[in-house]
Structure 1
Amino acid sequence: MLRENQRRFKFDWITIILFLLLISFGYLNILSASHVGEITSYFDTSELYGKQLIFIGLTFVIIVLILSLEAKFYERFASIIYLVAILALVGLFIFGKDVNGARSWYGIGSITIQPSEFAKFATALAVAKYISDLQTNMKTLKDQIRVATIIFVPALLILLQNDAGSTIVYLSFFFVFYREGLQQVYLMVVLSLIVLAVLGLKLGVLPTAIITTIVLTCLYLFRKKKRGSIFQYILALVICIGFSYGVKLFYEHVLKPHQQNRISLWLRLEKDPAKLEQMRKAEAYNLIQSEQAISSGGWTGKGFLQGTRTTGKFVPEQETDYIFSTVGEEWGFWGSSFVVVLFVALIIRILYLSELQKSQFSRVYGYGVASIFFLHFTINTGMVMGLIPTVGIPLPFFSYGGSGLWGFTILLFIFVKLDSNKINEW
């Protein structure tokens, strides 16, 4: 009995410590980004930092609830949790509240809840449940389509709510499928399509077609083993050219002007310096201010609560999507590096623990957790530094908001609970 109780409370404290460091450092930066004038009370709910402190307090209540449930609960009720998440997303079309042009929130008085933040862990549970129940290795097309459907449904619902940033997160499950046996050809196809899309926009359809023809010709002539006939290579060429042309049409006729401008700025598509500067002022104001804030921090930063651009509110939405610019200005290169190390350590730790799991459900779920954190971290920091187009996506445990904080906490601590339940053979 004593041994059973000891096993029940044997959590991975390295993961928990990393979580505590991230949530603590995240709060300090929200405090810097949101405070105005002298701080009279950290519990002032009229200020964002006061609200965030309450969110953090409720987070620990959520953690206790998650860890108090049996690990089997999450596997047994994964499908029901997923269904509830889907119904919550559907309900937004009827009862949702518009915030910044996205119908992604339920409003209850002054409180707002964003279901898409909770749909991530629900989808991760559903994917893990399906793969583990069938003991599938993702080799058959039928299984691939079914698992893809589990991901496609919430992603589509979120996209229809005009929340493209949250939709992109669902691409992270591709890494999970690859770990579970998805053929390498899919990875090559995805990378090729990304390259084709960029080339098609940057160079145009005709130059892209010429480059693609040269590459496919070389592959056909110089491969030692001639796989497929020349007609298959011709078909591949036609598909590549058609895709490149389709991306061009999608960019010009489907994307909204501000979305076009963000991609144009990222790829430097505009050749006219005057128009480019005008576009930067109109569409990249947040990014410009963010880059200037980060660069002004230097090696060691200006100090906690001493960031002039942060306290001066030069960076819009700094407490949410652009919170990393506060880190760069007030904590400098070394502080920013510390945050990067914390996130990398957390992701690596989750992957390491996932490989130790005796249950396929726990392993698949663990990879889903790591992949979601990786995509959020990579896209948010890349966006803030201008390395990728601007996308509204929060930095886990740093960006202001209760829904995001609770969603990421639930995502992580379900895995902590699953890991504590694994059977040790040593």
Structure 2
Amino acid sequence: MKNQSVVANLDWITVLLFATLVIMGWMNIYSSSLPNDSMGFDFTREYGKQLIFICLTIPLITIVLSIDAKFYEKYSFVLYGLGILLLMGLFVFGKTVKGQTNWYGIGAFSLQPSEFVKTTTILLLAKFLSDAQINLKNTKHQIIAFAIIGLPFVLILLQPDAGSAMIFVSLILVLNREGLPDWYLWTGFFAFVLFFSSLFIQPIYILAVILLLMIFHFLKTKRAYRNPLAYLIVFIAASSFVLSVDFVYDNVLEPHQKDRINVLFDDTVDLKAEGYNLNQSMIAIGSGGWFGKGFLEGTQTKGGFVPEQHTDYIFTTVGEEWGFIGCLIVIGLYVLLLFRILYLAEYQKTKFSRIYGYSVATILFTHFFVNIAMLIKLFPTIGVPLPFFSYGGSSLWAFTILLFIFLKLDANKVNEW
């Protein structure tokens, strides 16, 4: 068993799903970036560059699979440290694009380290949580786990890149899976709901609902577990949060962040200004109907109505040219990939591999869900790429490394009996 090659033990179902998504992604990038008067193939355009990026994933995959599986666990702290140094270096050597200093300029190409730091972060997180002595009911262990996630989160938020930073928050799902008390998750969920509710509902009504719910909970709770002081503290905290929302919205959020929230909830926004991108993306997706207009036949796509369509808005091309059925197929492929990763993670022989697998699924799911949800007005536009689909070498290579490290760990499990 130990002499079997990595290739023989590789999960080829996952590899096939990965390859299918990459190829379908390139087809949509080709369609969205091909000029109407184009003749021949141009490697200087987005579709040409993306083809180069795709070809370079082959040696990248070879390197990832050639490295000993134990390397990723043994040197996780070193890799994490290098990732943090790359993020810190942006504040000195980084290139500013559209107000964000999150790129290194390398000749004609750019590199976005935040994409790769997702992998190094979950490697160290998996290493820390796999220690038999770690118990996430312990406050000290919770602080360390949050610090591992929080350091890159803060550095990316300072770039400022709220979209990429938000992805790290989703790792709380992994912590919850590994024993973090449920109240952390519920607190985050209710904070999210209260924040957006407070933007459009008078605080007095929200506080009244909170008070009624707490009274109901208090009466339903067994007398032995009632603690009036705890209920009072929770109510004061919730009230303070609700009453501070307006201040945060007016004085902390940037104008473009306010616009993105307003576009989502306010039907009176100017569709030729701050509402333009979302409106055009919904028009493109809706115009595809059931079966789409056909490959290279999208009028919204060819007319260039959707800005940055080959990057964060690439799914609009799927909706317009491949229709509702095409969208279902693409979504179905992502769902299959996620379930396959979760299935493989559950059957890992080491805790490190299992936690890393769940982290990979969490990162991919968050990107997939947020990217598509923001295009159909279910989530604020924050600018995150669709894994394996959106244009960009950094995102494609980072997601490839993220996935194939897990496949390497999975292929190695036959040697861990």
- TM-score of Structure 1 vs Structure 2, range by shorter chain: over 0.9
CA contact (8 A) 1:172 1:368 kept: no
Q: SS state of the match for residue 282, structure 1?
A: coil
Q: SS state of the match for residue 138, structure 1?
A: coil
Q: SS state of the match for residue 241, structure 1?
A: helix
Asked if 1:380 is matched to 2:379, the reply is no
CA contact (8 A) 1:220 1:226 kept: no
| Match of residue 205 from structure 1 | 203
Pairing 1:20-419 to 2, within 5 Å after superposition: 20-42=19-41, 44-268=42-266, 276-278=268-270, 280-419=271-410
Rounded to whole Å, the distance in 2 between the matches of 1:214 and 1:226 is: 21
Rounded to whole Å, the distance in 2 between the matches of 1:105 and 1:159 is: 14
Structure 1 stretch 24-33 or stretch 248-257: which is displaced more? 248-257
What's the offset of the Cα at 1:425? 9.0
CA contact (8 A) 2:349 2:416 kept: no
Rounded to whole Å, the distance in 2 between the matches of 1:8 and 1:60 is: 14
CA contact (8 A) 1:8 1:421 kept: no
Name the amino acid aligned to 2:33: S
CA contact (8 A) 1:124 1:368 kept: yes
| Match of residue 17 from structure 1 | 16
Listed as ranges, the gaps of 5+ residues in structure 2 are: none
Q: SS state of the match for residue 351, structure 1?
A: helix
Rounded to whole Å, the distance in 2 between the matches of 1:46 and 1:221 is: 68
What's the offset of the Cα at 1:318? 0.3
- The Cα offsets for residues 88-120 of structure 1, whole Å up to 9 and x where unpaired, read as 000000000011111000012211100001001
Q: SS state of the match for residue 344, structure 1?
A: helix
Pairwise CA RMSD? 1.6
Rounded to whole Å, the distance in 2 between the matches of 1:246 and 1:30 is: 43
Name the amino acid aligned to 1:17: L
What's the offset of the Cα at 1:171? 1.2
Name the amino acid aligned to 2:129: I
Q: 1:15 to 1:8 in 2, by over 3 A?
A: closer
Name the amino acid aligned to 1:364: I
Rounded to whole Å, the distance in 2 between the matches of 1:417 and 1:194 is: 37
Q: SS state of the match for residue 139, structure 1?
A: coil
- The Cα offsets for residues 188-229 of structure 1, whole Å up to 9 and x where unpaired, read as 222221222122222132211111111111111122455232
Q: SS state of the match for residue 3, structure 2?
A: helix
What is the TM-score normalised by the length of structure 2? 0.97
Percent identical residues? 48
Rounded to whole Å, the distance in 2 between the matches of 1:300 and 1:26 is: 18
What's the offset of the Cα at 1:246? 2.1
What's the offset of the Cα at 1:262? 1.5
Rounded to whole Å, the distance in 2 between the matches of 1:107 and 1:216 is: 53
Rounded to whole Å, the distance in 2 between the matches of 1:8 and 1:137 is: 36
Q: SS state of the match for residue 106, structure 1?
A: strand
What's the offset of the Cα at 1:39? 4.6
CA contact (8 A) 1:139 1:183 kept: yes
What's the offset of the Cα at 1:257? 1.8
Q: 1:49 to 1:247 in 2, by over 3 A?
A: same
Listed as ranges, the gaps of 5+ residues in structure 1 are: none
How many residues get paired?
A: 417
Name the amino acid aligned to 2:228: I
CA contact (8 A) 1:302 1:331 kept: yes
- The Cα offsets for residues 299-339 of structure 1, whole Å up to 9 and x where unpaired, read as 00000000010011110010001000000000000100011
CA contact (8 A) 1:113 1:403 kept: yes
What's the offset of the Cα at 1:38? 4.7
- The Cα offsets for residues 267-290 of structure 1, whole Å up to 9 and x where unpaired, read as 33xxxx7xx243x43212111000
State which of 399, 406, 414 in structure 2 corresponds to 1:423. Answer: 414
CA contact (8 A) 2:2 2:414 kept: no
Rounded to whole Å, the distance in 2 between the matches of 1:135 and 1:306 is: 59
Rounded to whole Å, the distance in 1 between the matches of 2:282 and 2:329 is: 19
What's the offset of the Cα at 1:265? 2.6
